[in-house]
Amino acid sequence: MQVIRLAERDGWTCWLCGGDIDPRLPSTSPAGATIDHLVPRSRGGSNDAPNLRLAHRRCNVRRGNHLPELQWPTDWPMLMTVHLWTALARLAPRPGRAEVVAMAPLPELADAAAAWAVERSEAFVPGGWESWTVADPAGPVAVWLRRPASSAPGRTGRPLVPDA
């Protein structure tokens, strides 16, 4: 379903904040129209019309920190992970700054975690992310994440307390 058809159904209104949406703004604009899922797809929500709502991009993104997509895969036996959303909130506005976002017991797992962190970060704060791993001789492998220094500062919206 497209934005224009949702707007015909619901009007040019953001279902999250109740504010008007300017149809002339591109969907890449913070105040532009995006399609939000009432029940997140990760919780079984569908792409069918009854599950779709119009939302400002900024409101849609802000809600994103309550989605389980930003939780690390639970079947990975990581030694440590940070909450990715709060890491993005710190890193996105500061290109060039890096943080360790996970410690893995095995290099293969660290590589998978690095790829996952980049893919998820890009989905929520587009514009370029990179991740790499550094093995400690004693065993654990650190997974680093940053926005390249050459990239534009990004925004996550308000950094909120994650869901319990």
Instruction: List the one residue out of 90, 114, 96 whose CA is nearest residue 151.
Output: 96
What CA–CA distance (Å, rounded) separates 14 from 79?
40
157: exposed, middle or buried (Cβ count in 10 Å: 0-12, 13-18, 19+): buried
Instruction: List the one residue out of 67, 8, 76 whose CA is nearest residue 38.
Output: 67
What are phi and psi for residue 7, nearest 5 degrees? -65, -35
The footprint of Zn ion on residues 5-24 (CB under 5 A) is: 14, 16-17, 19
Residue 62 or residue 147: which is nearer to Zn ion going by CB?
62
Residue 14 or residue 78: which is nearer to Zn ion going by CB?
14
Is residue 12 a contact partner of residue 27, using CB atoms and an 8 Å limit?
Answer: no
Residue 17 or residue 79: which is nearer to Zn ion going by CB?
17
Tokens read off for 94: 């500061």
What CA–CA distance (Å, rounded) separates 56 from 32?
5
Residue 65 or residue 81: which is nearer to Zn ion going by CB?
65
- Choosing from 54, 59, 78, 84, the residue that interacts with Zn ion (CB under 5 A) is 59
Sole window of 52-60, 105-113, 118-126, 138-146 interacting with Zn ion (rule: CB under 5 A): 52-60
Residue 56 or residue 147: which is nearer to Zn ion going by CB?
56
Least distance (Å) from Zn ion to the CB of residue 49? 20
Least distance (Å) from Zn ion to the CB of residue 152? 23
Q: Establish if 33 lies at the interface with Zn ion (CB under 5 A).
A: no
Q: Establish if 56 lies at the interface with Zn ion (CB under 5 A).
A: yes
Binding site for Zn ion (CB under 5 A): 14, 16-17, 19, 56, 59
